[in-house]
Amino acid sequence: MTVRFGARLAAAVAARGPLCAGIDPHPGLIESWGLPLDASGLERFALGAAEALGAVVSIVKPQSAFFEAFGPAGVAVLERVIDTVHDAGALVLLDVKRGDIGSTMAAYTAAYVAEKAAFTADAATVSPYLGFGSLDSAVAAAREAGNGLFVLARTSNPEAHALQSARLPDGRTVAQSVVDAAAEHNAGVEPYGDVGVVVGATVAPGEVDLARLNGPVLAPGFGAQGATVADLHAVFGPDLPGLLPASSRELLRHGPDADALRRAAQRVADQLAGMRENGL
Ligand SMILES: O=c1ccn([C@@H]2O[C@H](COP(=O)(O)O)[C@@H](O)[C@H]2O)c(=O)[nH]1
């Protein structure tokens, strides 16, 4: 029997906490690890990070763009990163932010989240900005395969505000309409559904109402983009079910030493556990 993504994620978070560790092989980071800026350097960087971080956190988020930048050799490394994270015991959220008209979206679905998808991640990020309905077949295929989707709602970058906080004729913001559409897919599912949203930890408190989402919330912007544990608390409250604070550069700068990477991730995981226990 296929176990749904939402259930698998909830179990992983119960075991290891909610931190989502990003693997973003920025050229500057690869060089700071003393590695060459080529496919061999990418491979050592990304597999080292995958092995170390995948052993600590519940979910790892490789950023596809940094692998694609190295061409086919980089994409081959990405496939190995996914396997390495799984072997280390964590789930994989592939950050590819795909979105297109329905018929093309079907091909992205086959690549990333459908049964026997070409990439074997557990979930992928998608963009609803060609209309949430263009994602419907991806949602259905991912659910059938036991995989998940994270839909961009209110992203962490400052340029997003004008578009995503614009008001629709019914008074809701564009971002809120994305959250509400995701919530429809998650209604009634326990412990929560398979359609997550992306809401940056950098956004202003109260911008998005997540109370009825009943799904995971990826919160990038924590760490290198400036958001702190206090910001997470202010934006999401102390115990939003399914909240996955995501951090990449802030963790990766501790490499290449595997122990240092693991310790950095564990420190952040402990901080997040403190946030829940003490309402920090
Ligand atoms: O709103 C969003 C959506 C995705 N991202 C991605 O998260 C990481 C952020 O990395 P840091 O180094 O922790 O800043 C990166 O892959 C982005 O593409 C985001 O930042 N904001």
Residue ranges covered by each domain of the chain = 5-278
61 is catalytic: no
- Candidates 61, 97, 154, 233; catalytic one: 97
Task: Mention every residue, 6+ apart, whose C-beta is less than 8 A from residue 119.
Answer: 78, 79, 82, 94, 111, 112
Q: State the Cα–Cα distance between residues 242 and 190, nearest whole angstrom.
A: 12
CA 64 vs. chain centroid, Å, equals 12
Is the separation of the CB atoms in 67 and 77 below 8 Å?
Answer: yes
Assess whether the C-beta atom of 198 lies below 6 angstroms from ligand 1. yes
* pTM (global) more than 0.80: yes
| Confidence at residue 280, expressed as pLDDT on a 0 to 100 scale | 45
Element (H, E) at 124: strand 123-126
Closest CA to 124 of 47, 200, 63: 63
**pLDDT tens figures, 24-62:** 999 999 999 999 999 999 999 999 999 999 999 999 999
Q: State the Cα–Cα distance between residues 227 and 161, nearest whole angstrom.
A: 16
User: What ipTM does the predicted assembly reach?
Assistant: 0.99
Assess whether the C-beta atom of 242 lies below 6 angstroms from ligand 1. no
pLDDT band at 239 (very low <50, low <70, confident <90, very high): confident
Arithmetic mean of pLDDT over the chain: 96
Q: State the Cα–Cα distance between residues 264 and 223, nearest whole angstrom.
A: 12
Is the separation of the CB atoms in 124 and 98 below 8 Å?
Answer: yes
In words, the CATH class of domain 5-278 is: alpha beta
Distances (CA, A) of 67 to 59, 72, 88, 110, 274: 19, 9, 20, 20, 34
Assess whether the C-beta atom of 24 lies below 6 angstroms from ligand 1. yes
Q: Phi and psi at residue 206, in whole multiples of 5°?
A: 85, -5
- Give the gyration radius of the chain's Cα atoms: 18
- Of all protein residues, the one whose alpha carbon is nearest to atom 5 of ligand 1 is 220
- Of all protein residues, the one whose alpha carbon is nearest to atom 3 of ligand 1 is 155
